[in-house]
Amino acid sequence: MPLKEKSYIVTGSSRGIGAATAEMLLAQGAKVLGFSRTTGAIDHENYQHYKIDFNQTKTLEGELKDTIKTFADIDGIICSAGIGRFGGLEQFSFLQMQSIMNVNFLSQACLVRLLLPKLKQRGRSDIVFIGSEAALEGSKNGTMYCASKFALRGFAQALREECCKSGVRVSLINPGMVKTRFFDGLHFEPGDNEDNYIEAQDISECIKLILSMRPGTLLDEINLSPLKKVIKFNHGD
């Protein structure tokens, strides 16, 4: 197994895509360092959880530095932490706008910046970002969410060029609607039929493929969609 005994950081590891990714890596024999605001339900001898709130950017760098300095070798980072808020721009407060950019983009960039020296020393390592179809085209009521995912996509593309000579591979997955708790509290969700949504395990399988490829090959960007895109609106909308 090519991932056996390797070590990966997974952000947003307590649920959804992050939890599915952590479980996939553990099943492959890897060690997982999970970063998330809540603990989650993963109980495995090779899983270590670290409580990190990616919205608290004033204290984030210090917390990450203190945490990272205890790590030995790191073979990769899977950045899957994220939040979704939608609505007309004038409906957002400045703090809400800042929160979306913090969690979906800025905190991920901060984590990668701090870990990049360790990753470059490995000679072969991976950074995988979980983007969104919202990074491909702007949409109504998606001003801030799209902006955060566009920023992440541009960051990934530039970082890929910056790091390729050092053996650090940078990949991006842009999924459509994934059937997770992401939609809790939102006024819409994917349709009920199994071809109306992506499952978190679909994305973890893409991540396994990315990490397992030979060192000289890179999957730079994957756009993942349900076979039939159906949106179900709730709360009378």
118 close to 56: Cβ distance less than 8 angstroms:
no
Tell me which of 235 and 175 has the higher pLDDT.
Answer: 175
pLDDT classification of 218: cutoffs 50, 70, 90: very high
Mean pLDDT of all residues belonging to the chain: 91
Percent of the chain with pLDDT over 70: 97
d(CA 81, CA 174): 14
pLDDT of residue 188: 67
Domain topology for 7-233: Rossmann fold (3.40.50)
**Residue scoring higher pLDDT (205 or 184):** 205
Model pLDDT for residues 128-157, shown as the tens digit of each residue: 999 999 999 988 888 999 999 999 999 999
15 Cβ contact partners less than 8 Å away, ≥ 6 residues apart: 36, 38, 40, 180, 181
**Quick check: 195 and 227 in contact, CB under 8 A?**
yes
What are 94's two structure tokens?
């400045």
User: Residues 51-103: pLDDT tens digits?
Assistant: 999 998 889 999 999 888 888 789 999 999 988 888 889 999 999 999 999 99
Q: What does pTM read for this prediction? A: 0.92
How do residues 25-60 score in pLDDT, each as one tens digit?
Answer: 999 999 999 999 888 779 999 999 999 999 988 899
At 116-132, the pLDDT tens digits run 999 999 889 999 999 99
Confidence of residue 21 (pLDDT cuts 50, 70, 90): very high
Residue ranges per domain, the chain? 7-233
Q: How confident is the model at residue 237 (pLDDT cuts 50, 70, 90)?
A: very low
